Each structure stands twice: as structure tokens, then as C-alpha cells.
Structure 1
């Protein structure tokens, strides 16, 4: 574990500041897990952004703080959560700068961690010019996804008490509820971050990758020429799991209220 985080988990704060001073405008990519963040992280890296070190096949950031122990470790409960988060984000800032140096780059720096949206407000307070891209994928598809890691780790954090079966799977209704809460909250916070929040629909990214990448690069003010953007867009392919909900009894699996909230988020059953 990186030293800034190891020290914090021992109850020692190496450095804490109210705001970033060396890296004010990172790029963050988040979503409910399984929404397509991986391909965007790869594209940003190829476009010249100094993206954090991939920690796994999904390209999650190795430099991202170990949020679960930082929040839940018993010995840290006497330390205000705000203090812990500021110390964690200083560690992230420090490590992202080191990563950029390692890559020999000098421009924008960023990371991809799906659960980033859970601390979007706190991250925006620390990084005053952060730009966050939130990918949203049809909740009907997501409710039947095998990727429920975020729900299992952070369901209780957002107020859910989910039952998992012997294989570690939650019922589609519970997975849908987490998807609804997570996206509703991210969009609510994003509405307060003028010019710093971009909502990207995964289906649109798959159906019209070139125009969606143009929108993303414009938002980030990245100067990517048409030919390079087209080459990057060619890498985006709709997955076989798109519209998987059609193979399930989705009309019976969700409440009417859930389906109404789904529609309010732009997905008509």
C-alpha cells in the first residue's frame, strides 16, 4: 500500500490541506460498476491524459485511496471523516503527480474508479477544477449484471441493506435500487458543478462513438484532431450484454415506483 494511505490507516496524517495546490483539475471517470468506464479510461490514456496506473483488467486506478478501510476502520472513528478524506485526497493528488512524471507527460491527469461518484461532492471541494464524467447505463441491464461489487461494498453506505444469495448475487430489485440511488445522487451533485460534470449514456457511446467522443473531448477541452478521434471511436463496440434485460421477466422484478424513477433518468421501460 502506498505510504500516504498506510500512514493514514495507522491514524497518522502526513499532510492535510483544504484544497489541492499542485493538481487542481484532474479528470475522473465513474459509474455504477459495469457501465462501460473501462473503454473510456483507455481512450483518455491514448488521447494523452496521464491516467492512473491500472490496478486490474478493468483499469481501476491503483493510486485511488483504500476508501473502505479509511471510512470503516475502528481506530479511525475518533478522527472526523472530513479530515480523513482530505488526507486521502492529498495522497491521491501526490500519487497522480508521481504517475504523470513516470509517464513523462505534462498535461491533464486523471483516474477511473467506478465508485468515484460516491465522494463527488468531497472531491469537488478538494479539487476546485475537477472534471468528472459519469457514465450511465440502462438500469434494466444493470440490475441483471454479474458485476455487483459496488453494491456489496457500498450498499449500506447509501442506506441499503441487501441480502445476497449463496453465490454472492443480490436480487434484481435490490441491484436496481442501488443503481437508482447512485445515479440520482451523482446527477444531483453534478447539477451543482457547472462545467465540471458530464453525463454520458453508455448506449449513446456505443451507437454514436465519434460524436460522443467529440462531446467528451470538448467538455475536457482536449485538442484531438478528427482522424485521431475517429480512430479512437473505432475501438468502441456494443457488448453482447446490451439489452440483456429482454431475456428476463423484468416487468415482474421491479416495483412501479422503481420503473418511474428509471424513466425519470431517461430510460423508458
Structure 2
């Protein structure tokens, strides 16, 4: 689903985003966002402590976005790209009109984890950035940029099709560890819409959602083999230097020792690594466990 023809060139070359990072929530994406910031990538003007780009969260992380008609979704994508790029020209008036036209729908969208006031703050930030770009008061210099928002794996195919130079990185953690995570926000938000997940969400529903996301990622990798990278959270914890070098090479960024050393210092392996080994796996179907193993994830004994 490409952006409409007149929108493919809305961003000049130096303002094109370099990378998007996603993954099922709780998979360890934050260290990549903070690491790439050390490597010189601007990862957003409105971030939470986990490094999520909250402008993306505000515009795209509500279940109804999956049913938005193509033309409206294109316009929201253009809006996000313009406000994130810092580009001082381009169709800023059109972006402002898109923001105005969608303000109520986005601010009032049903979100189980954020209220209307939170969404309003995100939209006001987007408005202020567009205004600064239009009036020439934006202070950001031209710099490589990107975003990290775990939920963006749901729209990764849209972004890759719309932006021919974009690279996408998905952080993947063992599905059984994810199934027993307390962070079930994505399964709650998207599961009912995508795979008919019943509420409340427990370990079996969380694993079903993880398997669904993995199948989608396999398809995405086959479609864009040179523009998509999978990074295992377990590799990041056990072999941080090699994993970061692999990431930097994928993005054509410098792998100088000082930068990599700083990135490695960010890694704090979770104490929940391998937590599934102490849990009752009989709650999962044999088929789900076989599917997980077929994706390359071993089920180790206690």
C-alpha cells in the first residue's frame, strides 16, 4: 500500500527516516532505542523512559486504526513523517489539516492504557513541531532519525512499502517468556481484533498473539530480505557486542569501539530471562508448543 504518488517525495533525501524498531511488548526494544541514540540517530522528540516515540503511539496505537480507510491512513502516515523529520518545508499545511481533521477521532479513541488527556498532549506536541517547522523556529539540525515503538510491528509492512529506504528491526524474545510476562498490553489491544483473543488475556492468549506476530514477521522477512532484521533478546543479553555490531552494520552506521562500548553498557539482562522454565507449560496446547519450536525456539527443561 504505497503512499499516494505526490507523497512519496514529501521528505527530501536527508530527512528520510533510517530505521523503525518494533516487537511484542516486553521483548527488550528499549535498549536498541537508547543505543541508536548513542550512535547518532534521533529517536523522537516525545519519548517515554523506555524510548518509545509517543507521537507514534498517539497516532497509531488504538485498535480502530486497523479499520481506517487507506486514504486517511496515508494522510496520518504523512503527518507522522513530517513532524518527526524536522524538515522545514514540504506539505506542512496539508499535514496541519490532517491533524485538525483527525484530532477528535485520535484523542477520543478507546485505549485501555491511556486516557484522552494523554492523547491530547501527544497531538499538541505534533502541532507544535509542525508550527516550528513552518515558521522556521525549529532548532533541530538535519540528522538521521527513526523511531522505536513496539506496536509498529503491526504496520511494518505499510512503512516499508511507503518508504523504500527504511530499515525495520524487530526484537524477538522467547515466546514462552513472553507468555508469562505481566506486559500483556499488545495482546489486549490487538488480540481481539486480529485473532479473536478472548478477554481477559492470560498466558495461552499471550502465546497465541506472539505466534501470530512471528508468522507475520516471517512473511515480512521473505518480502523484504535486505531491509528487515530480527534481533533475539537473548543474544542481546549474552552477546551484546556482536549483536550491536550486527545492528550497526545493518544500518550502515559506524562500528567504532567507543560507540559500541557505550551501547554495551546499556544492557541489563532481565532477571526474568528463562522464567518459563519454572512455570507449568501444560496450559499450552501441543500445537502451540510445536509451532514455537518450529520457529527456532527450544523449550529447555527446568
TM-score scaled to structure 1, two decimals?
0.83
1:255 aligns with 2:263: no
Higher mean alpha-carbon deviation, 125-134 vs 138-147, is at 125-134
2:43 to 17, 36, 51: 51
Q: Report the CA distance shift for 1:68/1:207 in structure 2 as closer, same or farther (over 3 A).
A: closer
2:154 to 118, 125, 148: 118
Cα offsets for 1:199-238 (capped at 9, x unmatched): 0000001100001100000000011312321221122121
1:264 aligns with 2:294: yes
Partner of 1:67: 60
Q: How big is the shift at 1:24?
A: 3.6
Q: Which has the higher helix share?
A: 2
Q: Partner of 1:228: helix, strand, or coil?
A: helix
Unaligned runs of 5+ in 2: 87-128
Bigger relative contact order (CA 8 A; separation at least 6): 2
Unaligned runs of 5+ in 1: 1-14, 165-169
Contact 2:55–2:80 (CA<8 Å) still a contact in 1? yes
Q: How big is the shift at 1:248?
A: 1.0
Partner of 1:208: 239
Contact 2:63–2:193 (CA<8 Å) still a contact in 1? no
Tell me, in whole angstroms, the C-alpha distance in 1 between the residues paired with 2:162 and 2:247: 23
Tell me, in whole angstroms, the C-alpha distance in 2 between the residues paired with 1:244 and 1:206: 15
Contact 2:160–2:168 (CA<8 Å) still a contact in 1? no
2:192 to 152, 156, 181: 156
Q: Report the CA distance shift for 1:187/1:125 in structure 2 as closer, same or farther (over 3 A).
A: same
Tell me, in whole angstroms, the C-alpha distance in 1 between the residues paired with 2:152 and 2:159: 9
Contact 2:26–2:183 (CA<8 Å) still a contact in 1? yes
1:21 aligns with 2:52: no
1:132 to 134, 143, 168: 168
Tell me, in whole angstroms, the C-alpha distance in 2 between the residues paired with 1:221 and 1:257: 40
Higher mean alpha-carbon deviation, 257-266 vs 153-162, is at 153-162
Higher mean alpha-carbon deviation, 90-99 vs 205-214, is at 90-99
Tell me, in whole angstroms, the C-alpha distance in 1 between the residues paired with 2:52 and 2:35: 14
1:234 aligns with 2:265: yes
Q: Report the CA distance shift for 1:69/1:229 in structure 2 as closer, same or farther (over 3 A).
A: closer
Partner of 1:10: none
Q: Partner of 2:55: helix, strand, or coil?
A: coil
Q: Report the CA distance shift for 1:56/1:238 in structure 2 as closer, same or farther (over 3 A).
A: same
Q: How big is the shift at 1:247?
A: 2.1
Q: Report the CA distance shift for 1:105/1:201 in structure 2 as closer, same or farther (over 3 A).
A: farther
Partner of 1:33: 25
Tell me, in whole angstroms, the C-alpha distance in 2 between the residues paired with 1:48 and 1:20: 24
Q: How many residues align?
A: 243
Contact 1:26–1:127 (CA<8 Å) still a contact in 2? no
Tell me, in whole angstroms, the C-alpha distance in 2 between the residues paired with 1:239 and 1:172: 19
RMSD: 2.3
